[in-house]
A and B are shown apart, each in its own frame.
Chain A
Amino acid sequence: MSGVQIADTSRNVSPREAPGAAGQPSGPAHGAGDERLRRSSLLVKLMRRPELGAIGGLAVVLTFFAFTANGSMFTLNGLMTVLNPSAQLGIMGVAAALLMIGGEFDLSIGSMVAFAGLVLGVLLLVLHLPLLVAVIGTLVIAGGIGALNGQLVIRTRLPSFIVTLAFLFILRGLSLVGLKIATGGSTQMRGFRAVVDGSVLAPFFSGNAFGGLFRALAAHGVIEALPDGSPAAPGVPIAVVWFVLITAIATWVLLRTKLGNWIFASGGDANAARNSGVPVDMVKTGLFTLTACSAALVAVLTVFDAGSTDAMRGLQKEFQAVIAAVIGGCLLTGGYGSAIGAFFGSIIFGIVSIGLTYTGFDSDWFQVFLGAMLLIAVIFNNGLRRKVTGER
C-alpha cells in the first residue's frame, strides 16, 4: 500500500475522495490478493527465530572442542559432566531470559543463591523443620523478595538494573552476616547430609535420575560400562532434568499461552501493552518472583549436592545468566528472545567452562572466550533482529 499512502489525504482532502463517494468496498489489495505478496521462505521463517544464533554458536563451540579436546569429553560420562554446570546456570538462565523478554533484569539472582542457601540452612538445621517445609519455605521467602524487587521497580519506575543491583549487595551481605550468626563465625554451613540422606525428597534434588535405565543399557552393552558392569555414567544429574523440564515449560508458555503473549507485550512496549488490556505490572512482578525462585531452586540443588552452603555461592551467576540469555537471542531492550535460546546459551557456557579442562589450553581462557562470545552474540543478534523485524 506504500504507493497509495504517500499522500496524506486526511488533512487536505480533495472533494472526490469524500467518504460519500466511497463506493468501492476496498483498495487494490482486495480480491486478487496483493501482487507483492511473497510467501516467506523457510529460511526467513528460520531466521526469525531468536535461538538461531545460539544454535550456530553451539555448532562452532562443538567443532572447536571436537578438534582440540581429548575424546573423553564426548563420551556419555563427559557429556553429563558438561551438562551439570550448564543446568545449574541454565535454570536461572531460562528464568532470566523470560524476565529479559518481559523487559527487566534481575542482577540479584547470584546473591539469591547464597541467601536461599542460608534460609534453607536456618529452616533445616537451626529450626529443625521438616525437609519439605524447609524447601517450600525457602522458595516462598525467595519468591517474596523477588516480588519485592518487582514492586519496587514498578512503583519507583527506576530501571530494574539499579534496584536489583542494590539487592545484589544486600543479599550477599545478609548471607555473610546471617551465616556467621547462624554458625557462630563461619561463612559456611555444613551438616545437610545427615538430614537429607534417606529422605523421600532427596531424589528430587540430588543425585542422578534414570540410574536404572543406565544400568540396564550398560548391562546390554548399549552404553559404556565399567569393568564391574556398572555404567560409566551413573545417570542424568537431577539438575539436568530440572533444566530440561523448566526449558520445556518456559518455551510452551512463551509460544503457546496467553501469559507468553503478555510477557512479549510487556517487554516490547509496556505502555502499549497496558493500553491493550495486558496486566503488565502483574506479569513483571510474576517474572521477578520466578527468577528469584529459580535461584532458590539452584540453591536447594547445590546444597543437597554438596551437603553444605557457602556465602559465596552463586558469585557472578547473575551476569552469566544474562550472558546465557543474550547468547540465546534475548534483546537487552526486551520484547524479544527465547527460552530454548537461553537453554543453548547455558550449554555453550558449560561446554566452554568444562571443555577447556579436556584440552591443552589454560582453563583461564574461559573468561576471554566468554566475553568474546557475548560480544559476537550481541552484534549478531542486533543485526539479525533489525533485518527480520523491520526495526528502523
Chain B
Amino acid sequence: MDQVPLDLHPPHDPQLPPPGTPLIEIRDVRKEFGHVIALAGVSLTVRAGEVLCLLGDNGAGKSTLIKTLSGVHRPSSGTFLVEGKVASFGGPRDALNAGIATVFQDLAMIPLMSVTRNFFMGREPTQGVWPFRRVDFKQCRNVTHAEMRRIGIDVRDPDQAVGTLSGGERQCVAIARAVYFGAKVLILDEPTSALGVAQTSMVLKYINLVKSRGLGVIFITHNVRHAYAVGDSFTVLNRGRTLGTYAKNEIAMDALQNLMAGGKELQELSSELGGTV
C-alpha cells in the first residue's frame, strides 16, 4: 500500500504502462434499466497519464457510465476492455482489485461508522495469521489522519463518525480514500460539488499529481473551468450518447461550455441573468 508522495512531480510509477497507453476502452456501451435507456451507445478511452473529463447535463448518463466502469452495473451490451483485455466485473470489488478506484456521487460512506473504518472499508490491512488475523487499526488511524491532512482537512478525531463531518469534509474523505487505493484508474464523480475554495484547488492538484504518476483519471464535473484546468481530453455526453470527444487544443472553453449545456442556448439565459452564468 504505497502512499502518494507529497512532492509535486512524483516519479512515474514503474508498475504502470507508459503514458498514452489505453487503460480502459469502451465501445458502444449501452445500459438499460427496464424501459429507461440510460446509455445509448457510449465510447471512450482512458489513457495512462491523462485526465479525461466527462461532461454533460443532469441526467446525461455520466454517473451510470462510470458505475459500469466501476463494476456497479453490468453493461447491457457493448465492449469493455481493461488494458486491452475484455473485462467483466462481477461487482465493485473486482474493479477495485483491477486497480480502478471511484469516488461515487453519493460518496459511498457509512454515516454511523468512524472516519478510519470508512476509509479502509473493503480494503482493510490485516496482520497476524488466521484465525487470529485482525485489522491493524493503529496503522489505519495514522494513515487516515495523514491522508486527510494532506488533502487539507484536519479530522478532529479519526474515530468520530462520518455522520458528524460536514458535507465537504465527507467528500474529502472519499477522495483521499480513492486516491490512496487507486492503482491504475481514478474515477471522480463530481468530487468538488461541496468543496470550499482551498479544498477544491487541492483536489485539482491531486488530479494532476495522480496523473503525473501515470494513472488514468476520469473527472466528472459541471464546472468548465475545473475541467479545462486539469483535463487533457473532454468527452461530452448528452441523453445517453457521446456528443463528441475533444483534445484540449481542439476546443476553447466557451465552446465546451455550450456543448456541456447540451446545445441549449446559454447566451440567452446568461443575458437574462445579467451575464452572471
Binding site for B on A (CB under 8 A): 1-2, 4-5, 7-13, 15, 17-22, 24-30, 33-34, 36-40, 45, 48, 252, 256-258, 260-262, 264-265, 268-269, 271-279, 331, 335-336, 385, 388-392
Chain A residue contacts of B16, Cβ below 8 A: none
Q: Find out whether the CB atom of B195 lies under 8 angstroms from the CB atom of A261.
A: no
* Most B C-beta atoms less than 10 A away, residue of A8, A10, A21, A45: A10
Q: Find out whether the CB atom of A19 lies under 8 angstroms from the CB atom of B226.
A: yes
How far is B159's CA from A18's CA once the two chains are assembled, in angstroms? 34
Main secondary structure of the interface of B (DSSP, over half): loop
Query: Given known contacts A275-B92, A276-B121, A389-B164, is B229 in contact with A18 (CB within 8 Å)?
Result: yes
B 156-173 contacts with A by CB, 8 A: 156-157, 159-161, 163-169
Q: Find out whether the CB atom of A27 lies under 8 angstroms from the CB atom of B92.
A: no
Query: Given known contacts A12-B277, A13-B225, A392-B163, is B194 in contact with A5 (CB within 8 Å)?
Result: yes
Query: Given known contacts A9-B195, A10-B221, A30-B152, is B276 in contact with A275 (CB within 8 Å)?
Result: no
Chain B residue contacts of A20, Cβ below 8 A: 229
Q: Find out whether the CB atom of A17 lies under 8 angstroms from the CB atom of B110.
A: no
Name the CB-closest residue of A to B277: A12
Name the CB-closest residue of B to A272: B108
Binding site for A on B (CB under 8 A): 70, 72, 91-93, 96, 102, 104, 106-113, 117, 120-124, 126, 133-135, 137, 149-154, 156-157, 159-161, 163-169, 190, 192-202, 204-205, 221-223, 225-226, 229-230, 276-277
Name the CB-closest residue of A to B106: A272
Give min CB distance, B267 to chain A, whole Å: 17
Query: Given known contacts A27-B202, A389-B111, is B223 in contact with A10 (CB within 8 Å)?
Result: yes
Q: Find out whether the CB atom of A13 lies under 8 angstroms from the CB atom of B108.
A: no
Tell which of B70, B198, B276 touches A4, judged by Cβ atoms closer than 8 Å: B198
How far is B94's CA from A275's CA once the two chains are assembled, in angstroms? 11
Q: Find out whether the CB atom of B121 lies under 8 angstroms from the CB atom of A278.
A: yes
Query: Given known contacts A18-B225, A26-B152, is B204 in contact with A1 (CB within 8 Å)?
Result: no
Tell which of B70, B165, B276 touches A12, judged by Cβ atoms closer than 8 Å: B276
Query: Given known contacts A7-B196, A24-B198, is B169 in contact with A258 (CB within 8 Å)?
Result: no
* Most A C-beta atoms less than 10 A away, residue of B92, B96, B154, B276: B154
Q: Find out whether the CB atom of B122 lies under 8 angstroms from the CB atom of A5.
A: no
Q: Find out whether the CB atom of B205 lies under 8 angstroms from the CB atom of A33.
A: no
Chain A residue contacts of B196, Cβ below 8 A: 1, 4-5, 7, 9, 27
How far is B104's CA from A13's CA once the two chains are assembled, in angstroms? 23
Chain B residue contacts of A38, Cβ below 8 A: 156
Query: Given known contacts A2-B166, A257-B133, is B222 in contact with A17 (CB within 8 Å)?
Result: no
How far is B157's CA from A45's CA once the two chains are assembled, in angstroms? 11
**Number of A-B pairs, beta carbon distance below 8 Å:** 199
Chain A residue contacts of B102, Cβ below 8 A: 275
Name the CB-closest residue of A to B121: A276
Q: Find out whether the CB atom of B201 lies under 8 angstroms from the CB atom of A17.
A: yes
Query: Given known contacts A19-B226, A389-B112, A391-B163, is B126 in contact with A264 (CB within 8 Å)?
Result: no
How far is B130's CA from A257's CA once the two chains are assembled, in angstroms? 11
Tell which of A48, A261, A388, A390 touches B121, judged by Cβ atoms closer than 8 Å: A261
Q: Find out whether the CB atom of A33 lies under 8 angstroms from the CB atom of B154.
A: yes
How far is B223's CA from A138's CA once the two chains are assembled, in angstroms? 61
Q: Find out whether the CB atom of B164 lies under 8 angstroms from the CB atom of A256.
A: no
Q: Find out whether the CB atom of A10 lies under 8 angstroms from the CB atom of B111.
A: no
Query: Given known contacts A4-B197, A19-B201, is B108 in contact with A275 (CB within 8 Å)?
Result: yes
Q: Find out whether the CB atom of A40 lies under 8 angstroms from the CB atom of B157.
A: yes
Give min CB distance, B138 to chain A, whole Å: 11
Give min CB distance, A166 to chain B, whole Å: 28
Give min CB distance, A361 to chain B, whole Å: 39
Chain A residue contacts of B70, Cβ below 8 A: 275
Chain A residue contacts of B204, Cβ below 8 A: 19, 22
How far is B112's CA from A335's CA once the two chains are assembled, in angstroms? 7
Query: Given known contacts A5-B195, A19-B225, A22-B204, is B156 in contact with A391 (CB within 8 Å)?
Result: no
* Most A C-beta atoms less than 10 A away, residue of B137, B149, B196: B196
Query: Given known contacts A8-B193, A24-B198, is B135 in contact with A257 (CB within 8 Å)?
Result: yes
Q: Find out whether the CB atom of B201 lies under 8 angstroms from the CB atom of A22.
A: yes
Name the CB-closest residue of A to B207: A19
How far is B176's CA from A177's CA once the two chains are assembled, in angstroms? 59
How far is B122's CA from A262's CA once the two chains are assembled, in angstroms? 7
Give min CB distance, A23 to chain B, whole Å: 9
Q: Find out whether the CB atom of B222 lies under 8 angstroms from the CB atom of A264.
A: no
Chain A residue contacts of B113, Cβ below 8 A: 261, 264-265, 268, 335
Tell which of A10, A27, A40, A277 touches B123, judged by Cβ atoms closer than 8 Å: A277
